[in-house]
Amino acid sequence: MNNVIRVGMADINFAASPSTIRTSGLGSCVGVVIYDEKLNIGGMAHIMLPDSSMSRGGIVQRAKYADTAVTDLVSYFHSKCKEGETVRLKAKIAGGAQMFQFSTSTELFRIGPRNVEAVKEQLKKRKVILMNEDTGGSSGRTIEFDPATKKLYIRTVNKGEKAI
């Protein structure tokens, strides 16, 4: 049966086909999907902030930050690999919108673009190829990844659905 695996805010999860994986309500958050062309598995994280060094709490919730979430997604795929095998990880990302326009916008309210930048930097650092992105703008997004087709479906309230 086709199952939809859900990823909450500041959450990370994995799905193997025929299951798909979805996160809803990405505003300034960024949804990052990492997959391997040969495996029918997709990993997804719903990232809220660019860097875990920003954490002011005790234990770092790793899925919340771009650096730790990308690290965890990548190491999951490395652990799935047989010894000597090479992985060619690919990624698709969406989100990083600026939902409200304020004249007095502080740096924190520009977090969307900063999240996108941080995710890209981490992907580069981990040698993950960014295939497609749908980022920025002022609309919220709901995304769903199909590990079988490697397609990322993106829905916004005013533009309907598209796939990248």
Partner 1 sequence: MSMSRRIAPFHLDVLKEAGNIGAGHAATALSSLLAKDIDMKVPQVKLEPFHMLGDTLREDMETVAAIYFRIDGEVTGSMFFMLPVKEASSFAQKLTGDSSQKITVSNTTELAVSALSEAGNILAGSYLTALADFTRLNLIPSPPGFAVDMASAILSYALVPLSAAADEALIIETEIIENGRESNRALNGFFFFLPDPGSLGKILQSLGVPEDE
Dihedral sign, Cα of residue 28, residue 34, residue 37, residue 41 = negative
97 binds partner 1 (CB under 8 A): yes
Footprint of partner 1 on residues 120-139 (CB under 8 A)? 138-139
158 binds partner 1 (CB under 8 A): yes
100 binds partner 1 (CB under 8 A): yes
Local structure of residue 80 (DSSP, 8 states)? H
> What is the Cα–Cα distance from 63 to 152, expressed in whole angstroms?
20
84 binds partner 1 (CB under 8 A): no
Pick from 3, 8, 125, 148 the residue near partner 1 by CB under 8 A: 8
Residue placing its CB nearer to partner 1 in the complex, 40 or 137: 137
Q: Which stretch binds partner 1 (CB under 8 A): 36-44, 58-66, 117-125, 143-151?
A: 58-66
22 binds partner 1 (CB under 8 A): no
152 binds partner 1 (CB under 8 A): no
C-alpha distances in Å from residue 38, one per residue of 18, 89, 108, 133: 15, 10, 39, 21
Dmax over CA atoms of the chain, in Å, equals: 54
Binding residue count for partner 1, defined by CB under 8 A: 37
> What is the Cα–Cα distance from 144 to 147, expressed in whole angstroms?
10
